Amino acid sequence: MIASRETIFALSSGAGRAGVAVIRLSGPRSGAVLCALLGRDIMPKPRHAIYAPIRDPQSNERLDDAVAIYFEGPASFTGEDVVELHVHGGRAVIEGVLDCLSRQDGLRVADPGEYTRRAFENGKMDLTSAEGIADLIDAETAAQRRQAVRQMAGELGTLYEGWRARLMKALAHIEADIDFPDEDLPDGIVPVVHGDLRAVNDEVKRHLADNRRGERLREGFQIVILGAPNAGKSSLLNRLAQRDAAIVSEIAGTTRDMIEVHLDLGGFPVTMVDTAGLRESGDVIESEGVRRATERAENADLRLVVIDRSDWPKIDPEAARLIDDKTLILINKVDATDSSAIPASWQGTSVDGRALELPVLPISAMTGQGMESLLQLLETRVKEGLDFAGPVPLTRLRHRRALESASDHLDRGLQTDIAELAAEDVRLAVREIGKITGRVDVEDLLDIIFGDFCIGK
């Protein structure tokens, strides 16, 4: 364990008025400061809540009546001595206590993510678990929460550490072979080690070929609404968001900037984007809006092409260019009309010449007609895109990069017959995987990872 340094403190619960606020201290002075606040000489029993007045040790002013818990290191979140003060969540109470703490010797305000960083440095968790905690705090939907909890609990870390351990074992074999060459064995890596390396490499490759499920679940499934001006795109966005997020008007070219709303569809996070109506425009601002809409659509997980009923079955050429198998066609403004003439699917070709059969849904953004079927279909698509059974998927580009690089090294190591070269490649692969969990010198990485946290975590 790293010898602890300064004692840090911060508000660990959310800012603003609340019933209770939690202020956390971590470091060698935590216990002594708690005693000073409680006006007692004997350390409280670890892990037992005490309810008592807390006072400013200098002025003896009673700041609040609080619940205090002392965690003696290493049995604490950070591995150091930790104190949690549960005070009343009023602004003046919190400020009073924080101000009092800042005047105590050897205490300073924690940096963003510093508690979790200390937990990592003291061996309480690996980096993927630390990232899992950050994701859990940011989770907005049930599916995000489930993924984050699994990662926090160490599923990803265990998977990666398992690969690393197997590679290290293979490496030891190769090195033994180099150091003590057996006359009877052929040159190069012994076949059994070869098989082990190949097996790990195959597992890494399968893990990478996950269609970015884990990353997309963190980011949200991107759905972009497209179509000609006045088709009713903004009206549809408002209907789905159940609020007036975008301006609706009968003037063609109303929307120019992209408007995003975040939705929870069956527990999955969705970012729904309304865009500028697609058309050639002499107006520079509108053209820029169209350019951005097209770019956003190209990167979307799903596109909703909205067509005014009176235009159907003609599809605007600008929209047609963006149609592929990740597209739904919505015929809008079917209010109070008989929509039985509208077919359930559309057959056509994508811009690269592939035959497509896409679902067609009649809707009315104005009356809400057809919304239930649309929502059902959207939910199915989102689930197909993000849901997963089986091992927890990788969740960050950082993991992906390291695994891709590890796999490249293994590919190379498997091709060579020279044991020394293979050993070096396996060593590099081990190092790459170690970077993900933090089992190598990762000092430079730590600032990046923990910088994403906010203070008090």
Q: Is 234 in the site for Mg ion (CB under 5 A)?
A: yes
Contact letters for ligand GTP, residues 364-393 (x by CB under 6 A): xxx---------------------------
Find which of ligand GTP, Mg ion, none residue 252 binds, CB within 5 to 8 Å per kind: ligand GTP
266 φ/ψ angles, rounded to the nearest 5 degrees: 55, 35
When asked if residue 231 is in the footprint of ligand GTP (CB under 6 A), the reply is yes
The region that residue 219 occupies, defined by phi over 0 for left and psi between -120 and 50 for alpha, beta otherwise, is alpha
**CB nearer to ligand GTP: pick between 183 and 250:** 250
Rounded Cα distance between 129 and 162, Å, is: 15
Stretch that binds ligand GTP, among 38-46, 143-151, 245-253, 343-351 (CB under 6 A): 245-253
Residue 91 token pair: 């602004």
**Position 254 contacts ligand GTP (CB under 6 A):** yes
Residue 11 in 3-state DSSP?
A: strand
Give the integer Cα–Cα distance in Å for 271 and 371. Answer: 18
368 by Cβ neighbours in 10 Å (0-12 / 13-18 / 19+) ranks as exposed
Contact indicator for 394, 132 with CB cutoff of 8 Å: no
Q: Which is nearer to Mg ion, 277 or 434 (CB)?
A: 277
Closest separation between CB of residue 308 and ligand GTP, Å? 8
Instruction: Please pick, from the candidates 335, 404, 408, 424, the single residue that binds ligand GTP as defined by CB under 6 A.
Output: 335
Binding-site size for ligand GTP (CB under 6 A) equals: 23
Calculate Rg over the CA atoms of the chain. 29
Structure tokens at 241: 């968001």
User: Given the rule CB under 6 A, which of 90-98, 136-144, 184-192, 363-371 is the region that contacts ligand GTP?
Assistant: 363-371
The correct pick among 41, 105, 183, 250 for binding ligand GTP (CB under 6 A) is 250
Instruction: Output the six-digit token pair for 448.
Output: 């990046």
The correct pick among 255, 294, 364, 407 for binding Mg ion (CB under 5 A) is 255
Residue 254 binds to Mg ion (criterion: CB under 5 A): yes
- Which amino acid belongs to residue 255? T
Question: Which one of residues 26, 151, 235, 437 is an interface residue with ligand GTP (CB under 6 A)?
Answer: 235
129 binds Mg ion (CB under 5 A): no
Q: What are 307's strand-pairing partners? A: 331
State the amino acid at position 32 in one-letter form: A
Answer for which of 58, 102, 249, 345 binds ligand GTP (CB under 6 A) is: 249
Q: Could you give the angle at the alpha carbon of 333 between the alpha carbons of 327 and 339, nearest 5°?
A: 80
Which residue is closest to ligand GTP by CB? 277
Contact 231, 305 (CB under 8 A): no
* 230 forms part of the interface with ligand GTP (CB under 6 A): yes
Shortest distance (Å) from residue 367 CB to ligand GTP? 7
Among 212, 333, 399, 431, binds ligand GTP (CB under 6 A): 333
Q: Could you tell which of ligand GTP, Mg ion, none binds residue 309, using a CB distance below 5 to 8 A set by kind?
A: none
Half-sphere exposure of 431 (CA within 13 A, CB side): 11
Q: Could you tell me what percentage of the chain is helix, strand and coil, using 3-state DSSP and rounding each to the nearest 5?
A: 40, 20, 40
Per CB under 6 A, the segment of 82-90, 242-250, 427-435, 438-446 that binds ligand GTP is: 242-250
Contact residues for ligand GTP, defined by CB under 6 A:
227, 229-235, 248-250, 252-255, 276-277, 332-333, 335, 364-366
